Amino acid sequence: MRGNKNVFFTTNDLVKINFHDYGIQLNQPLILIGGYSSSEVTWFAQIETFVNAGYRVITYDHRSHGDSQQVDYGLTLHRLAMDLKELIDYLQLKNVVLIGHSMGAATIMAYEELFTDENVSAIITEDQAPTFFKSADWLNGQYGKTLTELSVFIDDFPKTRLIQKKLSDSVKRTLGHGMKPFDFKRYRPLLQNVILQDWRPELGQEKKPHLFFAGEKSPIFPAIHAQAARELQNNPNSEVQIFEGCGHILHLEEIEKFNQAVIVFLNKIKKD
């Protein structure tokens, strides 16, 4: 399901951000937020399902990603969070559901730090731990990376196999047609900024229901990060789901399972 031609809004630091808006405008808005180096096309298999479930669905490209303007400034999570806030304000959205994959999940945490979760109905994060670092007070010090190891991680990231399950030919074709080239060297500073963050204190401030997704075979994080993050968050309706056999991009590796899990969770919290 595709929208019309590319639509843009301009941020307060003069960056053109590409977005698409699907469904009935009066329905509850659901924003799909991509990861580092991805573009909005990676959400193509979610749009129709979520629109049919009664949501207004918005996808967009981060600055310097996809069809958004390529710039060498504002390459920080907090600037991405400001871009998200400006998109919400531009579309005059209320009571939004935020779904973020990887860096998109970290963007949500930065958004909440800056603007709180007052205008947020629910949060869904996909395979993103609150910290990359190894420390005694996170996962018993058994997982994570040192600063030196993270530097190697950044070097290796463009070659990392993020997906563990085989994608269908139709999914591959859609991604191949829609994905835009990404300059990993030019935008290395953004990934450097992402890995230096620690969102554990912010999770303790969250008030809204949060669904934590993780991939059992993710090459980025151990799956146990999801439960550990859930235990930092105080909303009784928050949940954890681990996708067996999946890598880092659950919404492409298990499309139907991902879509239904999101809908079931959102329906459940509406009743509570």
| Mean pLDDT score, 260-269 | 97
> Furthest-apart CA pair in the chain: how many Å?
50
pLDDT above 50 (res 95): yes
- pLDDT tens digits for range 21-34: 999 999 999 999 99
- 148 burial via Cβ count (<10 Å: 0-12, 13-18, 19+): exposed
For the record, the structure tokens of 57 come out as 């669905």
Band of pLDDT at residue 247, cut at 50, 70 and 90: very high
Could you give the percent of the chain with pLDDT greater than 90?
A: 97
| pLDDT at site 1 | 43
pLDDT above 50 (res 75): yes
Band of pLDDT at residue 270, cut at 50, 70 and 90: confident
Cα end-to-end span (Å), the chain: 31
State which amino acid sits at residue 173. R
| pLDDT at site 5 | 66
